[in-house]
Homo-oligomer: A and B are copies of this chain.
């Protein structure tokens, strides 16, 4: 370790004779604007444009990748500053930012070989300009250094947006949101740079405890009575139109299964009515949610919103943690996921439709070569999303290209999406993806499978043109 911490310019590029080729390819994408079409930063962050509170709240507490690793080695969720969702949980939460930061720094070695480590290095050095590695010894000084930095005006969200060279950033928003922050941003001229994404998940799962209330909220927000099935569909259509008007380009669907089986309309209506009475079974709820993916696809053919599907995460694996601390705390665990049969209804119905776009993600790598690349390699409506979540990592991205390209090529993929709520990590994530793609392309060049000029053109397409094309503007 050195006192003066810098990032190596060749980091994450392949070693040996591939490196100069990869470096050449990467040089053509390194400075391209960031097109961030799938993320989870809250629009309020930009509407309010306030300084980040402290290093722990900025980099540790809200990052479930990071918290989960510390929990796996003896910290608790509360030790890392995560607050219970209810006031009466009785859980003692660490509230001292410096203490939280120190705990993280002392366990820095746990992150060796992980993308969290890679992203944080990039953030600390490139974004915040610190020169000391996290450790028990440096924790205090780092905390002070970072605290001073983030107080400055150049570290406010919009200033960083410019510095990050972000061209556009999509947020993720509940279907019932009236999108006030996007409206405020639009008034200030940011309307084409920060756009919403329509996420109706809880409205489509009829046995959730909050479902009835959400449907009532849907009625209120849409001005359409959603208390019967026809009204519910009409209200969803209204919300989608409102999102399109607010600049949305896509929907986002996080179901457990990729099933898209259409039900007869009367059967869907029957389940909906039963659900309103609190009488739907789990099997009915599951069938209804698959049916609603089919309906969402149909609506996409009408309004042009690109449909994003990322199934296969069993949320809240530990029920007690979820009850105390809420969702998204690192306890979402993937399961094997089927696509060939599950997507068949939607692809047979709309897979050749000229205004339908379907982007599919997975946490089950086995489906890349077996199911997803073969499907994306024939249906014109379908594209393969970037490696997602646990697979958004140097080797994960490399395996993705290796598994996908030979069947689907590059042009049936969408390029990178960062999919993050950790705002400061966005440049690191895009940069890493560009490096990994450069390395993969360099191997194809070195093995004389493509030419260097083709590799450069492809790299630029993956970094910039493909994500733009995959999420076209609708207004």
Contacts and interface: CB of A to CB of B under 8 A. Distances in A.
B17 A113 contact: no
A117 B352 CA distance: 25
A51 interface: no
A151 interface: no
Contacts of A7: 448
Given A340-B317, A348-B318, A334 B448 contact: no
B371 A12 contact: no
Contacts of A410: 112-113
Nearest to A314: B340
Interface stretch (A161-169, A190-198, A268-276, A401-409): A401-409
A394 interface: yes
Interface string A1-39: 100000110111111111000000000000000000000
Contacts of A68: 377-378
Contacts of A366: 336, 364-366, 370
Interface stretch (A84-92, A95-103, A199-207, A449-457): A449-457
Contact of A15 (B10, B17, B376, B407): B17
Interface size class of A (residues with CB under 8 A): 35 or more
Interface in A335-369: 335-336, 338, 340-341, 344, 347-348, 351-352, 363-366, 369
A330 B375 CA distance: 10
A407 B391 CA distance: 8
What is the copy number of this chain in the assembly?
3
Interface string A364-397: 1110011101111111101000000011011110
Interface in A402-424: 402-403, 405-412
Contact of A69 (B13, B344, B409): B409
Contact of A11 (B1, B317, B449): B449
Contacts of A188: none
A11 B332 CA distance: 40
Contacts of A376: 72
B363 A370 contact: yes
Q: Which of A71, A112, A444 has the most CB of B within 10 A?
A: A112
B370 A448 contact: no
Contacts of A443: 15
A394 B245 CA distance: 47
A365 B369 contact: yes
Contacts of A450: 112-113, 117
A114 B406 contact: yes
Contact of A406 (B332, B336, B395): B395
A12 B374 CA distance: 23
Q: Which of A72, A363, A399 has the most CB of B within 10 A?
A: A72
A290 interface: no
A14 to B, nearest CB: 7
Contacts of A18: 15-16
Given A69-B409, A113-B406, A12 B348 contact: no
11 contacts: A8-B448, A10-B447, A11-B447, A72-B379, A111-B409, A333-B340, A333-B378, A334-B371, A335-B371, A364-B366, A374-B390
